[in-house]
């Protein structure tokens, strides 16, 4: 953490310089550095065209697409040709699961987990509806919000075709040992299908080291524009028949799963976000900074009467995303009290993680997302806000 200068990082975000934003809702979508905003604006000025022309404006579009593929390759440590861009993670997950579904038959099995965002579950429920495949759910240890690996393993058999799991839970912050789950999936001949949407904002992604067959994420969670990003192992993507129009390209293999005209200005912004990420070392020194602040927040939450942390009680095995329920108050009321103090934080009865909502559904819960641009003063401000709200 030494040498990490959070003030210098924040100076790159005009939104964080205005002085009116204490932002704890990064799990819903991060703030955007000025360089990303500028890249989007420049693309809209200089590359407002489509692919295929020999004029400069069209050639710039081709360059933007090539740069974005290269940036995705760097960000994921992936073959750039195996990258798929799309509207968001949810749309990509529906599209890729539909492509796989063409080869599924009744009785094939898909394993999901109770930690999952529903974008990792509903696509498989729809596949099951259409094909007769069966969806099984691996459980958790409810006291700590940790994936029950023994239960996951017990769900696997020779009919398992996919193990789809969330690497880091966007509601309670639990981190799953993704490489271990991928190895378990492979040991049963199943595909390892990772939802890295929350994890990618906190830890380095390396599809090769993980052993991912498919990995999805969303650049707007890590300082990029609203966009979806997926990786598919080339042999896997090549084996699937995509839903595509005939004149659209067949190479690189990832592009077969991209439908229609891509949002070129957002691809330009994505490349700038990856550059930003590398420059500030957000998944390294920035993450260490956020984890240290997470400890400060945890210590403060422990002192708060009437607040209950859902999930892992220490910084071990988690990212700095915290879910808090309240004894005798609706979480929405507490969120409103924070908003009145200029602190942006969200309350929900699920945060789209339906497998966890029973742990706190009665009065909802408040989510506090700490990120590499959070400051110690902001942690203290949110704790003061909670103390006042619960008094
Ligand atoms: C863990 C996780 N998976 C999937 C999604 C869905 O992402 P998108 O909004 O890009 O469809 C989210 C969004 O919050 C998420 O946090």
Q: Show the domain range for 170.
A: 38-279
Atom nearest to 87 CA in ligand 1: 10
pLDDT in tens, 329-371: 999 999 999 999 999 999 999 999 999 998 887 899 999 999 9
3-state secondary structure of 187: helix
pLDDT in tens, 248-283: 999 999 999 999 999 999 999 999 999 999 999 988
Does 18 map to a domain?
yes
CA distance 30 to 25: 7
Q: The tokens of 104 are what?
A: 């599924």
Q: Quick one: pLDDT at residue 361?
A: 73
Atom nearest to 93 CA in ligand 1: 11
Report which DSSP code applies to 183.
Answer: H
Residue 40 has pLDDT above 50, yes or no: yes
CA distance 154 to 184: 11
- The CATH number of whichever domain residue 87 belongs to comes to 3.40.640.10
Are both 95 and 207 inside the same structural domain? Answer: yes
Is the beta carbon of 197 within 6 A of some atom in ligand 1?
Answer: yes
Does 99 map to a domain?
yes
Are both 367 and 221 inside the same structural domain? Answer: no
Is the beta carbon of 88 within 6 A of some atom in ligand 1?
Answer: yes
Does 125 map to a domain?
yes
Residue 2 has pLDDT above 60, yes or no: no
Residue matched to tokens 């497998």: 355
Is the beta carbon of 144 within 6 A of some atom in ligand 1?
Answer: no
Taking CB atoms within 8 Å and a gap of at least 24, the contacts of 251-254 are: 251/81, 252/69, 252/80, 252/81, 252/82, 252/83, 253/81, 253/82, 254/69, 254/81, 254/82, 254/83, 254/84, 254/230
Report the nearest-CA residue for atom 8 of ligand 1.
Answer: 89
Q: Quick one: pLDDT at residue 326?
A: 96
Q: How far is CA 385 from CA 26, 114, 369, in A?
A: 18, 31, 15
Are both 292 and 226 inside the same structural domain? Answer: no
Is the beta carbon of 119 within 6 A of some atom in ligand 1?
Answer: yes
3-state secondary structure of 191: strand
Are both 341 and 214 inside the same structural domain? Answer: no
Are both 107 and 236 inside the same structural domain? Answer: yes
Does 208 map to a domain?
yes
3-state secondary structure of 332: helix
Q: Could you tell me how far CA 378 lies from the centroid of its own chain?
A: 23
pLDDT in tens, 208-234: 999 999 999 999 999 999 999 999 999
Q: Identify whether the C-beta of residue 25 lies closer than 8 Å to the C-beta of residue 306.
A: no
Report the nearest-CA residue for atom 12 of ligand 1.
Answer: 197
Are both 54 and 26 inside the same structural domain? Answer: no
The tally of domains found in the chain comes to: 2
Is the beta carbon of 166 within 6 A of some atom in ligand 1?
Answer: yes
Does 1 map to a domain?
no
Q: Quick one: pLDDT at residue 3?
A: 82
Are both 236 and 291 inside the same structural domain? Answer: no
Q: How far is CA 36 from CA 4, 39, 167, in A?
A: 21, 5, 26
Q: Per the omega criterion (within 30 degrees of 0), is the bond before 252 cis?
A: yes
Report the nearest-CA residue for atom 15 of ligand 1.
Answer: 197
pLDDT in tens, 137-146: 999 999 999 9
Cβ partners under 8 Å of residue 174, min gap 6: 115, 140, 144, 145, 146, 147, 168, 311, 312, 317, 318
Q: Quick one: pLDDT at residue 283?
A: 87
- The CATH number of whichever domain residue 369 belongs to comes to 3.90.1150.10
Give the domain-ending residue among 279, 303, 329. 279
Atom nearest to 90 CA in ligand 1: 11
Cβ partners under 8 Å of residue 315, min gap 6: 291, 294, 295, 298
Are both 290 and 221 inside the same structural domain? Answer: no
Give the domain-ending residue among 222, 252, 279. 279
pLDDT in tens, 153-165: 999 999 999 999 9
In the reported structure, the alpha carbon of residue 68 is separated from the centroid of ligand 1 by a whole-number distance in angstroms of 21
Is the beta carbon of 218 within 6 A of some atom in ligand 1?
Answer: yes
What mean pLDDT, rounded, does the chain reach? Answer: 97
Is the beta carbon of 89 within 6 A of some atom in ligand 1?
Answer: yes
Does 361 map to a domain?
yes
Does 370 map to a domain?
yes
Report which DSSP code applies to 326.
Answer: E
Return the H-helix or E-strand segment holding 262. none
Residue 104 has pLDDT above 50, yes or no: yes
Are both 263 and 386 inside the same structural domain? Answer: no
Does 93 map to a domain?
yes
Atom nearest to 168 CA in ligand 1: 1
Atom nearest to 169 CA in ligand 1: 1
**Phi, psi (rounded to 5 degrees) for 356:** -110, -10
pTM equals 0.97
Is the beta carbon of 348 within 6 A of some atom in ligand 1?
Answer: no
Are both 97 and 213 inside the same structural domain? Answer: yes
pLDDT in tens, 5-26: 999 999 999 999 998 999 999 9
pLDDT in tens, 176-206: 999 999 999 999 999 999 999 999 999 999 9
Residue 292 burial (CB count, 10 A): 16
Give the domain-ending residue among 254, 279, 304. 279
Are both 72 and 151 inside the same structural domain? Answer: yes
Residue 317 has pLDDT above 50, yes or no: yes
Are both 241 and 117 inside the same structural domain? Answer: yes
CA distance 190 to 25: 35
Q: Quick one: pLDDT at residue 1?
A: 46
In the reported structure, the alpha carbon of residue 53 is separated from the centroid of ligand 1 by a whole-number distance in angstroms of 35
């Amino acid at each position: 953490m030494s040498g990490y200068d959070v003030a210098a990082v924040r100076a790159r975000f005009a939104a964080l310089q205005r002085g009116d934003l204490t932002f704890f809702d990064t799990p819903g979508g991060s703030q955007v550095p000025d360089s990303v905003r500028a890249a989007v604006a420049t693309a809209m000025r200089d590359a407002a065209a489509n692919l295929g022309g020999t004029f400069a404006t069209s050639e710039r579009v081709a360059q933007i697409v090539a740069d974005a593929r290269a940036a995705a390759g760097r960000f994921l440590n992936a073959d750039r040709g195996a990258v798929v861009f799309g509207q968001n993670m949810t749309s990509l997950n529906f599209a890729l699961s539909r492509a796989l579904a063409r080869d599924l038959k009744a009785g094939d099995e898909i394993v999901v987990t109770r930690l999952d965002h529903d974008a990792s579950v509903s696509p498989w429920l729809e596949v099951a509806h259409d094909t007769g495949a069966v969806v099984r759910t691996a459980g958790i240890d409810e006291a700590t919000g940790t994936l029950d690996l023994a239960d996951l393993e017990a769900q696997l058999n020779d009919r398992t075709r996919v193990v789809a799991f969330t690497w880091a839970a966007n509601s309670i912050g639990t981190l799953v040992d993704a490489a271990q789950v991928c190895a378990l999936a492979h040991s049963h001949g199943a595909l390892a299908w990772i939802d890295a949407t929350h994890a990618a904002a906190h830890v380095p992604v390396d599809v090769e080291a993980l052993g991912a067959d498919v990995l999805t994420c969303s650049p707007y969670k890590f300082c990029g524009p609203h966009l979806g990003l997926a990786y598919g192992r080339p042999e896997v993507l090549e084996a699937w028949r995509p839903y595509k129009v005939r004149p659209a390209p067949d190479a690189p293999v990832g592009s077969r799963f991209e439908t229609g005209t891509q949002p070129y200005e957002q691809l330009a912004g994505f490349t700038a976000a990856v550059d930003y990420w590398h420059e500030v070392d957000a998944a390294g020194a920035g993450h260490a900074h956020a984890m240290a602040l997470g400890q400060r927040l945890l210590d403060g939450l422990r002192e708060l009467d009437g607040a209950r942390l859902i999930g892992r009680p220490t910084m071990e095995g988690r990212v700095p995303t915290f879910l808090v329920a309240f004894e005798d108050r609706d979480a929405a009321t507490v969120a409103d009290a924070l908003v009145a103090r200029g602190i942006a934080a969200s309350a929900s009865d699920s945060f789209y993680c339906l497998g966890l909502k029973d742990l706190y559904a009665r009065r909802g819960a408040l989510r506090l997302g700490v990120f590499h641009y959070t400051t110690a003063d902001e942690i203290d401000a949110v704790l003061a806000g909670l103390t006042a709200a619960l008094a």
